[in-house]
């Protein structure tokens, strides 16, 4: 099979011919990839930011937001059959450890993460696990929903955490209306009555933000902090959802959060840099968000089936992976980039 693999950091991916994975374990599931979403994390992996954390050995196959059809199942798999359309929760969790028992799939102590620390879905086939697959309506096209497996999942996870603070009359600033942000806006709209203020440097992204439900769209042009403070009666917003985490977003977000407010870190790349005296005197809570749980993904599939969340995507053949990565890096990608294997 074909697979797009990283052989060396700071180098383009190579399209290799590999042996097909097999469902040798009792709960293994092999998925024929219908589509795989491209994530900013793939750029960070290529830059080497994850090398130490993941401990992965090169070369390996990237791609952690996957959907397709079940190709082969292990002897004990009972929740899906060959041919089922599935979306793949990005993490493989054990189901037995304490974090798994409380439903916190991402912090499973025996887990693994295809596309991060083992072979992922930029390929014709992906080896995953019965616990990770959600069976979908067969009419759903993988290319239309693949990015919900990570971008969408991460967005709804953060929105669900923030939602208890977001009653009527509250404001939320969404930093970045890209692949995650535009889903976050729709989840906020579906799950809370908060007023949604979106900031982004791109006019196109701001247009998309308005289309999917933003109440205010503010251009990042040097005046964005003043504009947001005016829009929030000089107080700032109760909640910041920072889908960027770099390129000045954090300074902006800290200046836009209300005293006593909640700053959700979702995008990443640079440091949260704030004097501790400001953290205590302004009583700002900084909250990390790592992808989401299996049930978050089920919730998101329900919102999608109800037409409340729609993905905006740009599709590339798998062979064009390096063009897609360059487009993402240079801000040319609208919505989420989706790789579709020829098979």
Interface with Zn ion by CB under 5 A: which residues?
39, 41, 93-94, 97, 100, 108, 150
In angstroms, give the least distance from the CB of 180 to Zn ion: 8
- Closest to Zn ion by CB, 150 vs 252, is 150
What is the closest distance, in whole angstroms, from the C-beta atom of residue 298 to Zn ion in the complex? 18
Closest CB 95 distance from Zn ion, rounded Å: 6
Return the exposure string of 267-284: e unless at least 16 CB atoms fall within 10 Å of the residue's CB, then b: bbeeebeeeeeeeeeeeb
DSSP letter for each residue of 257-305: EEEEEEEEE-S-SS-----HHHHHHTTPEEEE--S--HHHHHHHHHHHH
**What's the distance, Cα to Cα, between the start and end of the chain in Å?**
9
The two three-digit tokens of residue 187, written as one number? 């989840």
User: Based on CB atoms, which residue is closest to Zn ion, 43 or 97?
Assistant: 97
Closer by beta carbon to Zn ion, 225 or else 301: 301
Burial environment of residue 207 by CB neighbours within 10 A (0 to 12, 13 to 18, 19 or more): middle
Q: In the complex with Zn ion, which residue's Cβ is closer, 41 or 66?
A: 41
Cα separation, 196 vs 217, in Å, equals 9
The residue among 41 and 313 lying less far from Zn ion, judged by its C-beta, is 41
Q: Measured from the CB of residue 319, what is the shortest distance to Zn ion in angstroms?
A: 21
Place of tokens 């809370």: 192
Nearer to Zn ion among residue 154 and residue 192 (C-beta): 154
Report the nearest approach of Zn ion to the CB of residue 154 (Å): 7
Nearest to 249 by CA among 178, 153, 174: 174
The total number of residues written for the chain in this structure = 343
In whole angstroms, the minimum distance from the beta carbon of 224 to Zn ion comes to 26
User: Which CB, 244 or 284, lies closer to Zn ion?
Assistant: 244
Burial of residue 184, with CB atoms counted within 10 A of its CB: 0-12 exposed, 13-18 middle, 19 or more buried: buried
What is the Cα–Cα distance from 141 to 182, expressed in whole angstroms?
20
CB of 105 to Zn ion, least distance (A): 8
CA dihedral 177, 174, 308, 337 (to 10 degrees): 30
């Amino acid at each position: 099979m074909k697979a797009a693999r990283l052989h060396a950091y700071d180098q383009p991916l190579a399209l290799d011919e590999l042996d097909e994975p097999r469902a040798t374990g009792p709960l293994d599931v092999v998925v024929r990839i219908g589509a795989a979403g491209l994530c900013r994390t793939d750029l960070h992996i290529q830059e080497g930011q994850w090398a130490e954390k993941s401990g992965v050995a090169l070369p390996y196959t990237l791609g952690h937001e996957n959907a397709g059809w079940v190709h082969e199942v292990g002897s004990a798999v009972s929740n899906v059959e060959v041919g089922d359309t599935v979306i793949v929760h990005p993490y493989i969790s054990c189901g037995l450890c304490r974090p798994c028992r409380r439903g916190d799939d991402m912090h499973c102590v025996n887990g693994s993460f295809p596309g991060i620390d083992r072979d992922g879905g930029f390929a014709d086939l992906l080896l995953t696990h019965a616990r990770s697959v959600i069976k979908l309506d067969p009419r759903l096209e993988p290319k239309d929903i693949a990015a919900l497996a990570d971008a969408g999942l991460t967005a709804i996870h953060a929105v669900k955490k923030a939602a208890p603070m977001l009653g009527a009359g509250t404001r939320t600033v969404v930093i970045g209306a890209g692949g995650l942000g535009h889903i976050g806006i729709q989840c906020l709209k579906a799950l809370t009555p908060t007023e949604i203020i979106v900031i982004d440097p791109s006019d196109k992204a701001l247009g998309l933000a308005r289309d999917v439900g933003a109440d205010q769209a503010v251009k990042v042009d040097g005046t964005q902090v003043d504009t947001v403070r005016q829009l929030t009666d000089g107080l700032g917003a109760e909640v910041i959802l920072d889908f960027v985490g770099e390129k000045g977003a954090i300074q902006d977000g800290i200046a836009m959060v209300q005293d006593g407010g909640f700053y959700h870190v979702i995008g990443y790349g640079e440091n949260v840099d704030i004097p501790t005296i400001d953290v205590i005197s302004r009583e700002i809570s900084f909250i990390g968000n790592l992808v989401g749980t299996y049930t978050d993904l089920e919730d998101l599939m329900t919102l999608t089936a109800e037409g409340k969340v729609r993905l905006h995507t740009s599709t590339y053949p798998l062979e064009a992976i390096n063009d897609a990565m360059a487009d993402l890096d240079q801000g040319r990608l609208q919505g989420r980039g989706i790789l579709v294997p020829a098979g």
